[in-house]
Amino acid sequence: AQSVTQLGSHVSVSEGALVLLRCNYSSSVPPYLFWYVQYPNQGLQLLLKYTSAATLVKGINGFEAEFKKSETSFHLTKPSAHMSDAAEYFCAVRARGSGNTPLVFGKGTRLSVIA
Amino acid sequence: NAGVTQTPKFQVLKTGQSMTLQCAQDMNHEYMSWYRQDPGMGLRLIHYSVGAGITDQGEVPNGYNVSRSTTEDFPLRLLSAAPSQTSVYFCASTLRGPGASYEQYFGPGTRLTVT
């Protein structure tokens, strides 16, 4: 079964500092990978997705993620944190090949940005 | 397009009461799913549907029923509410098919409290 592990339930960075949120997946075949963001009292919004094209994926709001097959990782980064980035971030995975397999989410990482 | 809509936004139930959470999408997506979100648990899949007339269980299906009579609608029924079902519920829909990356579109959520 597919699964994702997000390292760190809470990450705190200073405004302007690098943001790094970690995600590792378990799968023998590279899956589809996603990062979602959830602002307080809102639904989930897609940040970016990996579907098998370029391994470095650029998303909205200056975020990007790099797919590393050798490390089974899909870490999310942003060079310079902004106060508006404070939110909860979820990594998710879906197996390839069968459209019937559901999306599996990690437990989330809450990002705090300190002024 | 309205995307994915959910009603109600908030609901308070007494233990033992039943209710239906409504979900509708106007994107002609075949795949729809229901998640619950609890602190520290991420999003957990309750039920999903790969098309009208077809449903399947997810990770935490007990206490919930679903049906899919049309492509657009996917209601979630709580048969006899319990305090453990206090949560935020999200409905999502996904475009499947060749070349589709299966990203999910989420509704705004329903915050349910069972007393």
pLDDT tens digit sequence for B35-74: 999 988 889 999 999 889 999 999 999 999 999 999 999 9
Asked if B110 contacts B8 with a C-beta cutoff of 8 angstroms, the reply is yes
Percent of chain A scored above 70 by pLDDT?
A: 96
For A39, other C-beta atoms within 10 Å of its C-beta total: 13
Contacts B42 to A, Cβ<8 Å: 90, 105-108
Asked if B39 contacts B111 with a C-beta cutoff of 8 angstroms, the reply is no
Question: Is residue A1 scored above 80 in pLDDT?
Answer: no
Contacts A32 to B, Cβ<8 Å: 101-102
Question: Is residue B97 scored above 70 in pLDDT?
Answer: no
Q: What is the pLDDT of residue B98?
A: 63
Q: Is the peptide bond before B8 cis (omega within 30 degrees of 0)?
A: yes
Contact B103/A at CB under 8 A: yes
Alpha-carbon span B57 to B37, nearest angstrom = 17
- Name the residue with tokens 């998710």: A92
A98 confidence band (pLDDT: 50, 70, 90): low
For A19, other C-beta atoms within 10 Å of its C-beta total: 19
Chain B nearest CA to A66, separation (Å): 17
Residues whose CB falls within 8 Å of the CB of residue B69, separated by 6 or more in sequence, listed in order? B52, B53
Mean predicted lDDT score pLDDT of chain A: 91
Which of B38, B103, B105, B110 is the best residue to mutate to test the A interface, defined by the most A CB atoms within 10 Å of its own CB?
B103
Q: Interface of chain A against chain B, CB under 8 Å?
A: 9, 32, 34, 36, 42-46, 49, 51, 90, 92, 94, 99-100, 102-108
pLDDT tens digit sequence for A52-66: 778 899 999 999 999
Q: What is the pLDDT of residue A99?
A: 59
Which pair of tokens denotes residue A84?
A: 């508006």
Q: What is the pLDDT of residue A103?
A: 84
The shortest CB-CB distance from B103 to any of A34, A104, A106 is to A34
Residues whose CB falls within 8 Å of the CB of residue B78, separated by 6 or more in sequence, listed in order? B13, B18, B19, B20, B21, B63, B64, B85, B112
Which pair of tokens denotes residue A33?
A: 């990978």
Number of alpha carbons in the 13 Å side-chain half-sphere of residue B85: 26
